[in-house]
């Protein structure tokens, strides 16, 4: 079976976007000169110092709520996205309620206790490390915070902080493209590459358009295969790739059009296909919509306007776009991603 056919079949059947599409395809072998290794060791010891705060934040540091810098998606501490836990709440009645509040992990100031600047709390980035290194756990996500981040009905047990940072990276890191993972400082990323003529070794996309492959330098630095598309890269990298929403969607569309162009006919709409094709930042919205709407068409041209809806339900004349551009499209009601997320209970931005 052709590589693109396998890729499309696997994308449609993928149950876990983090699973490799095909084991053993990743063949990046880097020829590293001995001199470079020595350089790398030197710069590694410097990097250990630079990352000291990031490493301490994994299991958490104690501070005052007022030390934190609020942004639309949550809190930052000296530039690091953080969650807050272990908060004292002496105003709550009874030791049981205080202990319960102490064990909650919050993403934003969801209640009065978290808006008191002098209040002592802990800020951290890695829930596993927090639970491994603090005796008073288990620490678990606050339901109010999780629903504000991922919509009504989102499950705190299935929630992951790095995925939240990825979905809200525009807010945590502003417009600067970067790579972030708990335990390290964020590092700048290059814009997606010009067409290299080489296909993505994961999904088989070999489109001739620019702007869908990770820059070679970034691929090497993140130990990813050269030529990898940004969609496969964000699923395979350990941490978060933050490129702009427009860059990721443009790449997703190029890859989708290429894979569909190889097929005899377009695949039937399915939520699994939507999850496999769209950037990871869209996944919480897809999970919410899946509970209320049938599977959407992807990148659907609405009427003759030429405006493509990322998600579309032609029978309902409804669609979702990243941003509403210009006037209305005849007979169609388009939501921007922010509008539909607000309707579904997402309040963090």
Contacts with Zn ion, residue ranges (CB under 5 A):
106, 110, 142, 144-145, 200, 202-203, 229, 232
Least Cβ distance, residue 228 to Zn ion (angstroms): 6
CA distance 277 to 203: 11
CA distance 107 to 151: 14
By C-beta, is 192 or 319 nearer to Zn ion? 192
**Secondary element (H or E) of residue 85:** strand 80-85
34-50 and 52-59 helices, crossing angle to 10°: 60
CA distance 132 to 137: 9
Tokens of 319: 């669609």
User: Residue 218, exposed/middle/buried by CB under 10 A (0-12, 13-18, 19+)?
Assistant: buried
Q: Are 324 and 334 in contact (CB under 8 A)?
A: yes
Least Cβ distance, residue 339 to Zn ion (angstroms): 24
Strands 140-141 and 104-105 turn out to be: parallel
Q: Are 145 and 106 in contact (CB under 8 A)?
A: yes
Least Cβ distance, residue 300 to Zn ion (angstroms): 22
Name 158's Cβ contacts closer than 8 Å, sequence gap at least 6: none
Least Cβ distance, residue 32 to Zn ion (angstroms): 25
CA distance 175 to 77: 18
CA 310 to chain centre: 17
Alpha helices in the chain (DSSP H): 3-13, 34-50, 52-59, 95-102, 127-133, 143-150, 161-167, 169-173, 216-221, 230-236, 245-262, 271-277, 283-290, 337-343
By C-beta, is 298 or 329 nearer to Zn ion? 298
Q: Are 305 and 320 in contact (CB under 8 A)?
A: no
Least Cβ distance, residue 297 to Zn ion (angstroms): 21
By C-beta, is 232 or 274 nearer to Zn ion? 232
Least Cβ distance, residue 50 to Zn ion (angstroms): 31
By C-beta, is 4 or 332 nearer to Zn ion? 4
Least Cβ distance, residue 232 to Zn ion (angstroms): 3
Least Cβ distance, residue 200 to Zn ion (angstroms): 3
By C-beta, is 145 or 298 nearer to Zn ion? 145
**What is the chain's alpha carbon radius of gyration, rounded to the nearest angstrom?**
22
By C-beta, is 200 or 320 nearer to Zn ion? 200
Least Cβ distance, residue 245 to Zn ion (angstroms): 18
């Amino acid at each position: 079976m052709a590589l693109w056919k396998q890729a499309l079949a696997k994308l449609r059947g993928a149950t876990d976007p983090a699973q490799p599409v095909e084991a053993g395809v990743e063949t990046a072998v880097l020829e590293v000169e001995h001199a470079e290794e020595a350089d790398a060791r030197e710069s590694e010891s410097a990097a250990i110092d630079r990352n000291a705060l990031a490493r301490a934040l994994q299991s958490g540091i104690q501070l005052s709520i007022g030390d934190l810098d609020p942004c639309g998606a949550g809190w930052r501490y000296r530039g690091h996205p953080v969650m807050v836990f272990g908060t004292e709440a002496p105003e709550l009645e009874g030791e049981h309620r205080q202990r319960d509040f102490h064990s909650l992990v919050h993403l934003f100031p969801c209640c009065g206790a978290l808006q008191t600047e002098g209040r002592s709390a802990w800020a951290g980035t890695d829930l596993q490390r927090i639970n491994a290194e603090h005796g008073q756990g288990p620490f678990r996500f606050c339901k109010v915070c999780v629903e504000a981040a991922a919509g009504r009905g989102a499950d705190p047990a299935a929630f992951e902080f790095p995925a939240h940072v990825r979905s809200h990276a525009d807010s945590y890191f502003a417009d600067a493209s970067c790579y972030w993972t708990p335990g390290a400082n964020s590092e700048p990323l290059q814009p997606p590459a010009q067409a290299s003529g080489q296909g993505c070794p994961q999904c088989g996309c070999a489109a001739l358009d620019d702007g869908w492959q990770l820059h070679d330098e970034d691929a090497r630095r993140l130990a990813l295969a050269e030529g990898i598309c940004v969609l496969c890269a964000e699923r395979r990298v350990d941490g978060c790739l933050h490129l702009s929403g427009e860059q990721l969607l443009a790449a997703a569309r190029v890859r989708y059009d290429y894979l569909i162009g190889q097929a005899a006919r377009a695949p039937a709409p399915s939520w699994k296909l939507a999850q496999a094709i769209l950037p990871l930042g869209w996944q919480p919205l897809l999970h919410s919509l899946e509970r209320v709407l049938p599977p959407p068409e992807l990148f659907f041209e609405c009427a003759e306007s030429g405006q493509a809806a990322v998600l579309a339900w032609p029978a309902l004349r409804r669609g979702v776009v990243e941003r509403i551009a210009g006037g209305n499209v005849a007979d169609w009601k388009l939501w921007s991603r922010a509008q539909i997320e607000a309707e579904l209970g997402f309040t963090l931005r």
